Every structure is written in structure tokens, then in C-alpha cells.
Amino acid sequence: MRMEEILSPDEQLRVKDLIVRFYTYEGIVKAVEKAKLNLRRGETLGIVGETGSGKSVTALTILALTPPPGRVEGGSILFRRLNGSIDDILKLSEEQLIRLRGKEISMIFQEPNAALDPLYTVGDQVAEAILSHRLPEMLDRAIKSLREDVKNGNEGFSTRLQLWAYNEMKRNPDSFKLRLVKRLPIIGKIISKKLNQVVREEIVELLRLMEIPDPERVVDSYPHELSGGMQQRIVIAIALACSPLLLLADEPTTSLDVTVQAQILDLIRRLKERFGASIIYITHDMGVIAEISDRVAVMYAGNVVEVAPVIELFKRPLHPYTKALLEAIPRPGATFKSIPGTVPNLVNPPPGCRFHPRCPYAMPKCREEVPELKRVSEEHYVACHLYGGEDRGEHSGGN
């Protein structure tokens, strides 16, 4: 396949020239303009940028969940699937996407309070993720456990009924007979008994991994009974329930206190090792970026303006915007440096480089020509006319 050539062997994801526009009454908001990103297997890529830089829209588009009135107007998102094939997420059908979301790519949102449904218990919400993607596995476990019961001589009507139902469910989840039996008053309850038990055990195990104290109690509680930090752990549990290949974390610690943030960052780092997922971590906090990411992409007004390994970026920032961002971090003793001007209105973005009206180094060329993301040294890419670069355009990953 031709696509195989595009993604190098260690690459998990590549976003190429992504264009997302929002059609509003005020005009067309050019939210993401030719964004380029790539992510290697097992890597944590941090995306930093201010409000309106397009970082969240990019993440949602990776799940093909661009919020309306947004539309993807160009580009591709190549993703290495679980079975090894490479697909363009933007070309998948809705049915294929349902199987992809939550299973191969999942997401942690900023507000755990808003991400959880207040009307269902924590257990129900984690179970949803497990049952929709890991049903066969759970059925196998339930059947195995039932067979053991039979061996121990506990064979009764309910055991036989459940065994029949689970085998039927495995063969054909939509079977008419099964649907009919499920409707029967008492029998319907008996049927789901073992399955519920197995799923519950799995959830408790998962919550224990999230370092939630007393998981047996938490399973049956509602989100409002838990603190923000605990809620975020539940959201992470849901995201990791199916061991995804890629985890999108959209400012997961912004609404939390520093001490809880430290706990969650620590947890994410340890879970990454255990689950081996690649992570895209979105934040506006340079401190968090420095702690968690291997490489960093800086976004400004819908463009990726700089990509570099984290140490390189903090030591040798090249793009004037990155420099300004690093200088805007309050430090004791130093005067605060703010970036003059404001983030441009993306209905009418400035021509050429979108940062030029706020840039101290702006040249006439910056007003006319959009700078391409160029490679300036190994692994360090920048979109700025100040730097010549080695090769034009192509932002190729590791090799």
C-alpha cells in the first residue's frame, strides 16, 4: 500500500496539512491552518498554545469529532491501527470510527465534572467503555467462571441459562431469541448476573490501578460524591479501559490544584509505561510541558510554529513566539514580559506569518509569505523566515 511508505515504522500518527474552518455568522474562522504534527510510538508529544491557538480543535479532529460548525477542509490524519494497517482517520466511515474511538484512540477532557454523567454511577460509566469494546473478552471470562462453578457442582438452572445466553451472545449479539429472553422479568436479570460480576471485578481492578482508595465503594458512587482529582482519575480510567494506542489529554490538570496536579501527572507517567500508549498532551502551562513531554509542538493562531525535543526547546527556542512564551513565565526578581498585542481574530488572520503584528523581528517578507515548517537541526523544526532551514516543507519524523 502506498500509505505504508508515508508513515515510517516507528510512527504512530501523522497529521498532515490539516485545515479546519468554522462557518459562523461572523465569517469563516480559520481555526487550524495547515497544521503538521507527528507522533512516535510510546512518545509523549506536548502541544502548547494560548486560547484559540487551535490545539483542542486539532485533538478533536484526530478523533474525527470536529465540533460543528467546524469542517475539515483539507489534509490527512494517518494513524497506525491495532492490526498494523494505516488509515486516514478523515476517510473512515462513521461505523469504523465508532470502533476506533475509545478503543484505539481515547481522550481525557479538561473538566472531569463535565465529562462524567451525573446520573450514572462511576461503575456504570466505566462499564460502558468496557462493554462496548471488550464484550467478547468479558463473555469469555464469564463463561470460564461459570464452567468452574459447574465443575464445583454448583450447576443449577441459572448457571445453564447464563451459559446458553453468553454463548449465544458471542455468536450473534443481536440474536432475536436473546433479545426476547432479556425482556422476561426475572430471567433477564439472571442472565446478566455473571457478566456484571466479571465486569465489576475488571472495573475495581482498573480503579485500583488509578490509585483510587477504596475502589469497591467508589464503583457505586456518583460523580458528585468525588473530588475533582478523583473524578479525573475516573475519566482516565475510562480512557484507559481498552488500552488505547493513543491517548489525547486536553488540559487534564488545568482545573485541579497543584498538589493534585502532581499526583495526576505522576499517574499518567506511570500508566503510560504500563499501557505503552502514545500521548498527545495539550496544555498552556510551560511547567507541565517541561515535566511530561518528550517533544513539544508550539501552536499559534492555528499554525504549528515550532517542534522540538523538550530540552532543546527550552534551551534553544527559535520562534519569536516560543521565546516570548518562555519569557512570560513569572519568575521572582525579573520583570514580567508580556507579549504585546493580542491573539489575532481568526476570521481575518494577518496575511503572511500570523505572528508578524506582535513580532519584534518582523520583516517585510513576513507580511507577504506564509513561513513553512522547516528543519533547522536534527529534530528541530520552526516556521519562521528568520531561519533558513535545511530542507523545505516536509516535516518527516524520526529518520
- Binding residues (CB under 8 A) for other proteins: these are 50-51, 213, 227-230, 257-263, 265-266, 284-291, 310-311, 314, 324-326, 328-339, 342-343
Query: Could you tell me the sign of the dihedral formed by the alpha carbons of 251, 94, 105, 290, in that order?
Result: negative
**What cell was used for 384?**
519562521
Min separation Cβ 48 and other proteins, Å: 9
Min separation Cβ 169 and other proteins, Å: 41
Taking the least distance from each CB to other proteins, the nearer of 111 and 285 is 285
Query: Are 395 and 307 a contacting pair, CB within 8 Å?
Result: yes
352-386 as b/e: b if 16+ CB within 10 A: bbbbbebbeebeeebeeeebbbbbbeeebbbbbbb
Torsion (CA) 307, 312, 316, 319 in degrees, nearest 10: 10
**DSSP letters of 27-57?**
EEEEEEEEEEEEEETT-EEEEE--TTSSHHH
Taking the least distance from each CB to other proteins, the nearer of 220 and 266 is 266
Taking the least distance from each CB to other proteins, the nearer of 247 and 286 is 286
Min separation Cβ 332 and other proteins, Å: 5
Taking the least distance from each CB to other proteins, the nearer of 257 and 394 is 257
Taking the least distance from each CB to other proteins, the nearer of 29 and 63 is 29
Min separation Cβ 49 and other proteins, Å: 9
Min separation Cβ 306 and other proteins, Å: 15
Exposed, middle or buried by CB within 10 Å (0-12, 13-18, 19+), for 218? buried
Amino acid at 230: M
